[in-house]
Amino acid sequence: QKEVEQNSGPLSVPEGAIASLNCTYSDRGSQSFFWYRQYSGKSPELIMFIYSNGDKEDGRFTAQLNKASQYVSLLIRDSQPSDSATYLCAESGGGADGLTFGKGTHLIIQP
């Protein structure tokens, strides 16, 4: 049974600071990793995905993957109040596989 672990939070970060979200996964065969943002009552929005070790940057967001440690993280720079949401980490074993989600981290950006 694949597992994706996240700290549920809430994680409180001052506006303008860097928010750091972490995720670990159990299956060494996992290939791709996804970060989604979900506002209350809404469907998840894809922030970015990563499948190679190292960092991947997209605007204010940086995903980091360390397959040896089975660890994925998401950094949000210059945090804004609109970034307040639940952030879901997910993994996939392959292209045709569905995603296994963590329970999400509730992020609060304090103005």
Partner 1 sequence: GAVVSQHPSWVICKSGTSVKIECRSLDFQATTMFWYRQFPKQSLMLMATSNEGSKATYEQGVEKDKFLINHASLTLSTLTVTSAHPEDSSFYICSARDAGTGRNFGPGTRLTVT
Q: Determine how many CB atoms are found less than 10 A away from the CB of residue 16.
A: 11
Q: Is 105 in the site for partner 1 (CB under 8 A)?
A: no
Q: Which residues pair with 48 in a beta bridge?
A: 35
Contacts of 76 (CB under 8 A, 6+ apart): 18, 19, 20, 21, 60, 61, 83, 107
Count of chain residues binding partner 1 (CB under 8 A) = 23
What is the maximum alpha-carbon separation in the chain? 41
Residues of this chain, 12-41, that bind partner 1 according to CB under 8 A: 32, 34, 36
Contact 110, 88 (CB under 8 A): no
Nearer to partner 1, 3 or 15 (CB): 3
Listed ranges 13-21, 59-67, 73-81, 100-108: which one lies at the site for partner 1 (CB under 8 A): 100-108
In angstroms, give the least distance from the CB of 14 to partner 1. Answer: 26
Given the rule CB under 8 A, which residues bind partner 1? 32, 34, 36, 42-46, 49, 51, 88, 90, 92, 95-104
